[in-house]
């Protein structure tokens, strides 16, 4: 088996270099040794792999099939050797990451700081923006997405869920009768965050069927911080990530609306292109920042 693997690698080099002589020079072997290995491989397989002529080499159909497998074998071996050789070496390089601005005040930033402390040779460029950046077109290695992912060829990993709740300012709620169920809120003033997957909000409560509300409102914004600030100023109801409201909920200036009911959390994902040179570094970064946040 070992001899066959060696012969397959020599066969692939012969085809890649176009002649036995060129392959021999690349492998630091004699042309006769290279030719012998290929001939022995053909004997063992019982098929011809190469059409031989005085001008050039060309592959038989069986040779074409084996060459594809040989390239896969060589790539896998080189990848494994590189991975082992990197053990014990501190990861280094540049990573450009685009992140929703909504997460700029979240615990995700704490995790990125912890990653940087452990891997100081990795240079991070962090782009916080609610404008959806394109990975390849805008030159980013990783994108952090918040919400529901579209189908794509990108590799993705869910990092964690962000709990959300319906909140309003204390002064806004003082002007309204205390709601008992989600359907009573349909005619209230809602603050709308765009773009959104749906203009519907589903509420869940233990022991009750889910209830869907279709929010209505005359203010639509594209920034979660602005949405929350409008709610803080008494402009209406808002569904926001818990981390945006926790301080004001604690001091009483903001209140949960229907605290017995929960709103579906929103997922945070990392996405990156497949088969890129920095995939190992990207995967390391993603693995270190993943996992449910405690707050």
Domain 162-265 classified CATH 3.40.190.290? yes
Q: Which residue has the higher pLDDT, 168 or 194?
A: 168
252: cis peptide before it, omega within 30°?
A: no
What mean pLDDT do residues 218-231 have?
93
Query: 2-86 belongs to which CATH class?
Result: mainly alpha
Q: Which of 9-23, 95-109, 195-209 has the lowest mean pLDDT?
A: 195-209
Q: Which residue has the higher pLDDT, 191 or 80?
A: 191
Residue 143's pLDDT is 94
Residues paired with residue 240 on neighbouring β-strands, in sequence order = 165
Q: Which of 97-101, 119-123, 213-217 has the lowest mean pLDDT?
A: 213-217
Q: Which residues, at least 6 apart from 47, have a Cβ–Cβ distance to it below 8 Å?
A: 60, 62
Range(s) within the chain of domains with CATH label 3.40.190.10: 93-161+268-289
Q: Taking a C-beta distance cutoff of 8 angstroms, is the pair 130, 200 a contact? A: no
Between helix 279-289 and helix 107-118 the angle, nearest 10°, is: 130
**Which span out of 3-7, 13-17, 112-116 was modeled with the highest average pLDDT?**
112-116
What mean pLDDT do residues 44-70 have?
84
pLDDT at 142 over 90: yes
pLDDT, averaged across the chain: 86
pLDDT at 84 over 90: no
CB count in 10 Å sphere of residue 289: 24
Between helix 31-45 and helix 20-27 the angle, nearest 10°, is: 110
Q: Which of 23-32, 163-172, 222-231 has the lowest mean pLDDT?
A: 23-32
CB count in 10 Å sphere of residue 126: 14
Residue 278's pLDDT is 67
Range(s) within the chain of domains with CATH label 3.40.190.290: 162-265
Range(s) within the chain of domains with CATH label 1.10.10.10: 2-86
What mean pLDDT do residues 210-217 have?
88
Taking the C-alpha atoms of residue 39 and residue 60, their distance in angstroms, rounded to an integer, is: 14
Residue 198's pLDDT is 63
- Which helix (H) or strand (E) covers residue 86, if one does? helix 61-86
The domain defined by 93-161+268-289 folds into D-Maltodextrin-Binding Protein; domain 2 (3.40.190)
Per 3-state DSSP, what percentage of the chain is helix, strand, and coil (rounded to 5)?
40, 25, 35
Q: How far is CA 30 from CA 7, 12, 42, 118, in A?
A: 14, 16, 19, 49
Taking the C-alpha atoms of residue 153 and residue 272, their distance in angstroms, rounded to an integer, is: 9
Structure tokens at 85: 């050789």
Structure tokens at 56: 């050039």
| Stated pTM of the model | 0.64
CB burial class (10 A; 0-12, 13-18, 19+) of residue 28?
exposed
- Which helix (H) or strand (E) covers residue 262, if one does? strand 262-272
Q: Which residue has the higher pLDDT, 280 or 102?
A: 102
Residue 295's pLDDT is 45
């Amino acid at each position: 088996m070992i001899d066959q693997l060696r012969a397959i690698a020599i066969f692939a080099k012969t085809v890649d270099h176009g002649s036995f002589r060129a392959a021999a020079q690349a492998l630091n072997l004699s042309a006769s040794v290279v030719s012998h290995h290929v001939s022995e491989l053909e004997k063992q397989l019982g098929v011809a792999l190469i059409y031989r002529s005085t001008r050039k080499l060309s592959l038989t159909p069986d040779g074409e099939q084996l060459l594809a497998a040989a390239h896969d074998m060589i790539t896998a071996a080189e990848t494994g050797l590189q991975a082992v050789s990197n053990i014990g070496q501190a990861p280094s390089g540049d990573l450009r990451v685009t992140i929703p601005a909504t997460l700029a005040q979240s615990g995700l930033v704490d995790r990125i700081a912890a990653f940087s402390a452990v891997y100081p040779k990795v240079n991070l460029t962090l782009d916080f923006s609610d404008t959806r950046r394109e990975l390849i077109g805008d030159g980013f290695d990783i994108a952090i997405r918040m919400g529901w992912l579209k189908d794509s060829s990108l590799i993705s990993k869910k990092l964690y869920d962000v709990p959300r709740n319906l909140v309003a300012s204390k002064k806004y709620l003082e002007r309204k009768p205390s709601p008992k169920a989600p359907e009573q809120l349909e005619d209230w003033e809602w603050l709308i965050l765009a773009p959104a997957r749906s203009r519907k909000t589903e509420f869940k409560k233990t022991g009750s069927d889910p209830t869907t509300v279709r929010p209505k409102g005359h203010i639509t914004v594209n920034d979660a911080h602005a949405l929350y600030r409008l709610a803080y100023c008494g402009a209406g109801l808002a569904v926001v990530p818990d981390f945006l409201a926790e301080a004001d909920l604690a001091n009483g200036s903001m209140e949960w609306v229907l605290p017995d009911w929960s709103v579906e959390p929103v997922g945070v994902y990392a996405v990156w292109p497949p088969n890129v040179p920095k995939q190992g570094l990207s995967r390391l970064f993603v693995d270190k920042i993943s996992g449910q946040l405690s707050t």
